[in-house]
Structure 1
Amino acid sequence: MKIEDDIRNAVEVLRKGGIILYPTDTVWGIGCDATNAEAVKRVYEIKRRDDSKAMICLVDSSNRIQRYVRNVPEVAWDIFDLATKPTTIILDGATGLAPNLIAEDGSIALRVTQEEFSKQLCYRFQKALVSTSANISGEPAAQNYRDISEEILNAVDYVCWARRQEHKPHTPSSIIKLSPAGEVKIIRE
C-alpha cells in the first residue's frame, strides 16, 4: 500500500472517531483524535488504563502547540527546536482537547514528531493525535509491529501498513515537565 493511501485511510478512521495503530518517532502507538472524548475513552479501555493517567499527544509542528496550550513558556520552543531525540513536554494550561485527556492539574503532554509517517499523518489530520504505546498498561511497549498483541490488534479500527516489516530497537521519548515560569523537571530521560 502506498503511504498516501495508508495515511488517507487512517485519517478517515480518525475523523469518524475511530482508533488506529501506527508507527511513531518512538514505539508503535495507539492513536485517536485528541479532541474526541469518546475516542479517548476507548483508548483507555483498550489499554486497560485508569483515565487519571494522562496520555501523550503528537503534533506535526511546534506551531500547532499553541492551539492546545494557553501560555507556552519560552523555553519550550528551545527544547522543541534543539532536542536531538524524541522529547515530550508536559505543559500547563491545556485547552481545546478532550477533557479526559487532560491531567488533573490541567496539563497535557505534547510531542512534535519528526518521523516521516507520523508527521504526515498529523499534518493531514490537522489536529493533535493521541499517541500512547500499543500495549496493555503495565506490559512492555511495542517497539515494532510484530510486538503488538493480538488483543490490541483486534481492538482497533485500523492498523497502518507503514513500517510493519521493520525490526529494530525503539525507545519511548524523553519526558520533561515545564512549569508556567519555565522551570524544567525531567520525568523520563
Structure 2
Amino acid sequence: MAQSTTDTHGRATPGTGARLVASLREFTAALEEWPGALWQLDEAALGDVVGGMLRVSSRAENIAALATADALSRGTVANSTATGAPAWVARQATGVEPAVVRRVGMVGVECADLRNQVVADALADGSASVPVAAAALREVPRILPQLPTADRDDLLGRYLSLSDHGWRTLRELSTRILGGVRPGAPGAG
C-alpha cells in the first residue's frame, strides 16, 4: 500500500512547496555558472564547493527517491505513459546516469510501501543514502531467512546505519552472515 511522505514526515507550512520549487529552479540555473567562476575561489572555498556539492548531490538523490514515492502514491506515475517508476524518473531527469535513475526509481517504489517506513525515514532525515538504501532493500531479504529470530525493520535499520561505509559493505556483510550460518561453514553449529 502506497503512502505520501508527508503522511509520516509532517507537513510544511502552506507555500513552502512552491518556494522550494522556485529555489530549486534558481539553484539548478546557478549550477551552470559554477564552472566559469571556480577560478575566483581560494583553496578553502574550493574545498567548500567540493564538499558542499557532494553533500547536495547525495541529499538530492534522497529527496528524488522520496518524491518518486509520493508520485507513486498519488498515482502520478500510473497516470503517465511511463512503464514504471524508473522510466518516469528518467523522463524527469534527462541526462542523468541510467544507474542513478534506476536506483532512485527502485528505492522510490520501495519507499511507497508502508513496510519500508524505516527506509523512507532514513532517507528523509539524511541518515542513509539512496545507494545504501537500495543495497539494504536487496540484502535484507536475502539474509532474513537465515536469521529466523531477526526483526526485518531492525535489520533494515542496522544496515542503513552503515551508510557511511558504503553499499559494498552491506553486500560484504551479507556474504559473511550467509557464510557463517551455512552447515559445515566455520563457526556454524
Same fold by TM (over 0.5)? no
Higher helix share: 2
Higher strand share: 1
**TM-score if structure 2 supplies the norm length?**
0.29
**TM-score if structure 1 supplies the norm length?**
0.29
- State which structure, 1 or 2, has the greater radius of gyration over its C-alpha atoms: 2
- Larger RCO (CA within 8 A; separation ≥ 6): 1
